[in-house]
Structure 1
Amino acid sequence: MASAGDCPQAEALARSITDPAYQAKVLAAVAKGLAVTGAFRDAESLLTETETLARSITDPSRQAREFAALGTALAAAGERSQALTVLDRAEALARTAADPESRAWALVAVGQALAATGAHRRAETLADTITVPVGRARVLVTVGERWAMAGEHQQAVATLTNAADHVRTLPDPNDQERELTEVVKALASAGACRQAEILARSITHRVFDRAEGLAAVGQALAAGGERERAAALLSEAETLARTVTDPSSTLAAVGQALAACEEPERADALLSEAETLARAVTDPSDQTYGLLAVARALVACGERERAVALLADAVVVARTIADWRYQAQMLGLLGEELAAAGAWRQAEALAHTITDPADQVQVLTRLAKLVEPSWARQLIARALRMEYWKFPLHSLGVVDPSVLVAAAADVW
């Protein structure tokens, strides 16, 4: 709103926010808008107030996570130098947190933000200081994915192998195999298909994770031209999926991989079967999850109309979930997927029915990144009213990156 020139309305909105952290960030954006219009005295006054508010936040781990979100958004907006400056501050704050668990997860946020900024080696070095093994592994997986995206496949594999070693130290086999599945997918994307396959086959407790891991490897092999080997792995993944009590989501993942491997008829048959199985589930929570998984696969396969129809049905089922918190979470995920499928108005309408602010903001800001700037500004304004600043950051960068730069430079 401030970037659109409506500074008085934006300032009034900012002052309606009770949390000092969020209020400070919105006021910084308003100050930037005032400065652009030449109202330098008013801008200076607001910046002084903003700095006071920002310094009133006393939880360093929370401050660090807020800075990490801002740094990631700045990087996405092309402001890498500013992002790294903000992340320096974020890391320093994270290390002052007294509680070891809070400190570790704050560092995870900073490490993942550093990876997103392109500071891969620094992120790896930071990961070594994280005392929670699953958090350390997640940072390394993010770094590995970023190395692969940069074309540094050898370095990606080394980092992901390190991540797998840390995951294996987790005491709970279910936690271990859940995280290993993410490493498998990242290795496959990095082109280390043989290593990814071996790792996927080491997953023995969670059969659906093993199936999804093998499907990811099969998809990567097909992309590399090894279609015969890919077909064998995908057939194995399908067989494994059928041994699961509720195989709909796993079959959907295999179907998506088959579509990517240019086997449309087989993929369509498998996705149709997955949909039928999901609809047959009696528990509304499980049915919603299954329908969501199939819809995601359909979107990935380009079948948007079919996906939107399925998501509409899933919304009806989700509203019957007894646990209000889980219901809100599932409605949020369905709204995000509707946005991804191009059903923007439906996504916005659904967002306004979600009672949990965090889940509603997730949908609004996902949608804001997809629609035209004038509409996006309205969505972001609604999101900011709910005091969940860090979610709209990426969307603000899309609408007006200068707002992010102002927040970084003027407040901190």
Structure 2
Amino acid sequence: MALLEIADDLIIAAPGHARELLATVERLTRTITDRYACGGVQLMAVETLAKTSPVDAENFARSMTDPSYQASALVRVAAVLTRTDRKQARGLLADAEHLVRTRDAPDHRERPLGHIARTLARLDPEAAERLATTISNPLRRAQALAIVAGVLVRAAPAHARRLLADAESDALEPANPCFQARTQVKVATVLAQVDPGQGRRLLIDAEHLVRTSRHRDPVLQDAAEALAALDAAEAERIARTITTPVHRSRALTKIAEKLARVDLGGAERLARTITPPYHQVLALAGIAKTLIELHSPPAIQKQ
């Protein structure tokens, strides 16, 4: 991990040195026996390498022996190539889809297909929609459709609205309350960009749905954070009901950052109620960052 962080810092300033470090990372991953640890490190390495050498990143990805992680790596390289080589990106996405459909168990295919659809939406929105609709589980399909809509929401808002209507319908299918509520939050987060009122209502519905679940706090955190830009008071109410301190603090921090755009005094007062002190410091730093973004010239914000 340390080598990856160094390589990521060097990849632009000293790409040759960075690639040497990544080659070392690649060799070291061959000695890791834990599948998840090995795959996670390899994905980070591919993502870093793709910033300056998509060809090397693709070769690295194709050398990975775990089909699921190889598919994810190909998608990450394709995401970079959508800006420079659309044909190659399509080819990598097709290869990733083939890996997912032929190597993964049926119940493990649906999430990676959603990730493929997200990148494909930048190249061919209609193809991405077709891919998303092949997902059989209604909640997974809703998540995939929301992902595609999120890519389209600025360039093709009418298309995004149609996809979100289908996603919202799928998200209302009865299922495990926690999974259903999480799906509704994901759909609502995108929906709020084209219909703030309906997005807000869906987030409130998700809160009610998950309220009695033992695993509600991460979902409530996501709901409060998504609601922060729509209704700060309601978002804070939800955040205050979260019993796990870390999830509650993270939600309140995000709300304070959003609130700073319209009510600096209120944001600072909210931040000073956050405990423990570490999270209060993060919230105040987030408010400061928001102020810098609001009052800095665009050229400075991009640095």
Give the equivalent residue in structure 2 for 1:264: 196
Distance 1:306 1:213 in 2: 27
CA distance in 2, matches of 1:186, 1:180: 10
- Which residue of structure 2 lines up, in the alignment, with residue 293 of structure 1? 222
Indicate the residue corresponding to 1:376 in structure 2.
none
Please name the residue that 1:397 is paired with. none
Structure 2 gaps of 5+ residues are 258-266, 290-303
Cross-structure match for 2:235: 307
Match of 1:225 among 156, 171, 174: 156
Q: Give the distance between the partners of 1:270 and 1:334, measured in 2 at CA.
A: 21
Aligned CA distance change for structure 1 residues 120 and 198 (closer, same or farther; 3 Å): same
The sequence identity of aligned pairs, in percent, is 24
Q: 1:203 aligns with which of 126, 135, 139?
A: 135
Q: Which has the higher contact order (CA 8 A, sep 6+)?
A: 1
Matched, 1:160 2:77: no
Q: Is the 8 A contact 2:252 2:274 kept in 1?
A: no
For 2:49 and 2:281, how far apart are their aligned partners in 1?
Answer: 22
Aligned equivalents of 1:348, 1:88: Cα separation in 2: 43
Deviation at 1:336, TM superposition (A): 4.5
Cα separation, 1, equivalents of 2:232 and 2:94: 36
Kindly indicate whether the alpha-carbon contact (under 8 Å) linking 2:221 and 2:250 is maintained by their aligned counterparts in 1: no
Q: Distance in 1 between matches of 2:285 and 2:64?
A: 32
> Quick check: 1:349 aligned with 2:275?
yes
- Under a length normalisation based on structure 2, what TM-score does the superposition of the two structures give? 0.74
Instruction: Tell me what 1:235 maps to.
Output: 165
The within-5 A match list for 1:11-410 is 65-75=1-11, 78-81=12-15, 82-95=17-30, 97=31, 99=33, 101=35, 106-115=41-50, 117-148=51-82, 150=83, 152-188=85-121, 190-204=122-136, 206-225=137-156, 227=158, 229-245=159-175, 246=177, 247-261=180-194, 263-279=195-211, 282-285=212-215, 287-299=216-228, 301=229, 303=231, 306-314=234-242, 316=243, 318=244, 331=246, 335-341=249-255, 342=257, 349-350=275-276, 370=286
Cα gap change, 1:100 to 1:222, in 2 (>3 Å): closer
- 1:125 and 1:201 mapped to 2: Cα distance? 31
The count of residues paired between Structure 1 and Structure 2 equals: 272
Contact 1:339 1:347 (8 Å CA) reproduced = no
How far did residue 89 of structure 1 move? 2.6
Which amino acid is the alignment partner of residue 186 of structure 2? Answer: A
1:335, distance to aligned residue in structure 2 (A): 4.6
Distance, in Å, in 2 between the alignment partners of 1:250 and 1:140 is 26
Residue 289 of structure 1, CA deviation: 3.1
- Whichever residue aligns with residue 289 of structure 1, its letter is P
AA paired with 1:91? E
Give CA deviations for 1:129-162 in whole Å, capped at 9, x if unaligned: 11111111221222222223x4544433332222
Closer/same/farther in 2, CA of residues 71 and 348 from structure 1, 3 Å limit: farther
- Conserved in 1, the CA contact under 8 Å of 2:272 and 2:280? no
